[in-house]
Structure 1
C-alpha cells in the first residue's frame, strides 16, 4: 500500500471504537468490515492526509481512492468518497469509469449516495462542451443498466443542482417515471437489496427535497 494509503488506514483504525464497530457491523452485515470510526473522524483523517501529502495530483489522488476502496472496509471506502469530494476540481468525465466501479460494489446508501450527490452531480455540473456530452451519455447508460445502484446514482446526481435552482427538472421527471416503471417488477440486486426500493428511495429523496426548496416544481 502507498504511504498515503497507510497513513489514512492507520488514522482510521486509531479513531475506531469497538462499541461503534459492533453496532455498525450488525447493521451492515458480513459484506463489509467496519473499524468503528465516525464520519467526522473519517473526514478529519482525510483532511490530515491531504495536508501531509500536499502534492497529490489527479492521477495520484484517484489511484489512492482505488487503493482505499479495494479493501472492503466501510471507513476506507468512505475515505475514498471524501477524497473524491476534496479533489473534485481535478476530475473529468473519464473518471466516471472509476466511479462506476465504486458504485457497482458500494452496496450501501451510505457509500453510494454521497458518490452520486456529492461527486457525480457536481462533476457533471462543472463540465462543458464535449466532456459534458460524454458524461451525460454515461449517466444515460447508467439509467438503462441492470445494476440498480447505477440507476439510483443517475437519479440522485442532479440533486444539488436542483437545490441551487438549476438543473433539468422535466428530464428528471421523465427518467424517474421510466425508472419506477422498470423497477416495479421488484427483484434483488447482487447484494440482496430490493431493486424497487432502491429506485423509489432515490426518487422520493429528490422529490421531497425539491418540494421543500422549489415548491413550484411538480412531479
Structure 2
C-alpha cells in the first residue's frame, strides 16, 4: 500500500464506530453491491477529513498519482475506502481526462450502491465532462450515450445523473438528457414518465423513493425531474420532447 493510501486507511479505522458500522450495514446491505461491502463505521465527515489531511500531508499529487491512489482505495471492498476514493477524485476532478472514463466505468460497474454511484456521477463524472474542451466533450458524451444503452442499470443511472451539475447551474443540454431518458424508459415511456412526473411533483420524496417499482436508472430520471421542477420549471419533459 502506498504511504498516502495507508494514511487514509488508518485515519478511517481510527474514526471507526461499531454501532455506526452496523447502522450502515443495515442501510446499505439491501443494495445490490452493499452485501459485498465491509464497513469501518466512519462518518462521511471523517472520510472527507481523511482525504483532506492526506492532501496536506502529500501535496502536489499529479494525475497518475491521484488515479493510482483512487484505484488503491477502491480495490478493497470497504465502503469508507471506496467513498474516500470518490472524494479524492472529486477534489482533483480538474486533473481528470477522457482517459479516466474507463476507470470510472469500472468503479460504477463494481459499486452498485447509490451512495457510491451517485457522487461518482454527479461530483466526478459531470464536472469532468463539463470541463473538457469541445472535442474531448464530444468523445466523452459518446461514451455516456453508450452507457445509456448498456444492460448495466448502474451505468445508465450514472449517465443520467451526470447531467445534473450543468442543469443545476442553468446550462446543460436538456434535449440530450431527455433523449437519453427516453432511451432508458423505452416502450413504457408513457406510464413511467407519468410516474416519474408524479415523483418530481412530490419534491421531498422523489429523490429517496426506492419503493415505487422503479429500477435504479428510472429512479435517476425521477431525481433529475424532481430537481428541475424546483429549480428550472420551464424545462418540460414529455414523450414528444426532442
TM-score tier after normalising by the smaller chain length: over 0.9
Q: Give the Å deviation of 1:196.
A: 4.4
Q: Which shifted more, 148-157 or 174-183? A: 174-183
Say which of 226, 229, 241 aligns to 1:208: 226
CA deviations 1:35-88 (Å, max 9, x no partner) are: 000101100000000000003111000000000000000000000000000101
SS of equivalent to 1:143: helix
Question: Which of 127, 130, 136 is equivalent to 1:125?
Answer: 130
Q: Which residue of 1 aligns with 2:198?
A: none
Does the CA contact (< 8 Å) of 2:145 and 2:180 recur in 1? no
- Per-residue deviation, 1:107: 1.1
| Residues 183 and 196 in structure 1, CA contact (< 8 A), matched pair in contact too | no
Asked if the contact 1:92–1:123 (Cα under 8 Å) also holds between the matched residues in 2, the reply is yes
For residues 86 and 188 of structure 2, the distance between their equivalents in structure 1, rounded to whole angstroms, comes to: 27
After superposition, what is the alpha-carbon deviation per residue over 1:108-130, rounded to whole angstroms, capped at 9, x for unaligned?
00000000001101110110132
Contact 1:183 1:195 in 2 (8 A): no
Structure 1 residue runs of 4 or more that deviate by more than 3 Å after TM superposition:
none
- Aligned: 1:53 with 2:71: no
- Which residue is equivalent to 1:26? 26
After superposition, the Cα gap between the structure-2 partners of 1:182 and 1:19, relative to the gap in structure 1 and judged at 3 Å, is farther
Q: Distance in 2 between matches of 1:74 and 1:50?
A: 20
Q: Distance in 2 between matches of 1:40 and 1:211?
A: 30
Q: Is the 8 A contact 1:159 1:206 kept in 2?
A: yes
- How far residue 132 of structure 1 moved from its aligned partner, in angstroms, is 1.4
CA distance in 2, matches of 1:207, 1:129: 27
Indicate the larger mover: 17-26 or 63-72: 17-26
Aligned residue pair count: 210
Give the TM-score, by structure 1 length: 0.92
Distance in 2, Cα, partners of 1:183 & 1:88: 36
Aligned to 2:157: 152
Preserved contact between residue 38 and residue 79 of structure 2 (Cα < 8 Å): yes
Aligned to 2:16, what secondary structure does the other structure show?
Answer: coil
Aligned match of 1:65 in 65, 70, 75?
Answer: 70
Change (3 A) 1:182 1:48: farther
Q: Name the stretch that deviates more: 114-123 or 166-175.
A: 166-175
Distance 1:71 1:93 in 2: 25
Larger mean Cα displacement after TM superposition, 111-120 or 132-141: 132-141
What's 1:103 paired with? 108
Q: What is the Cα deviation at residue 195 of structure 1?
A: 9.4
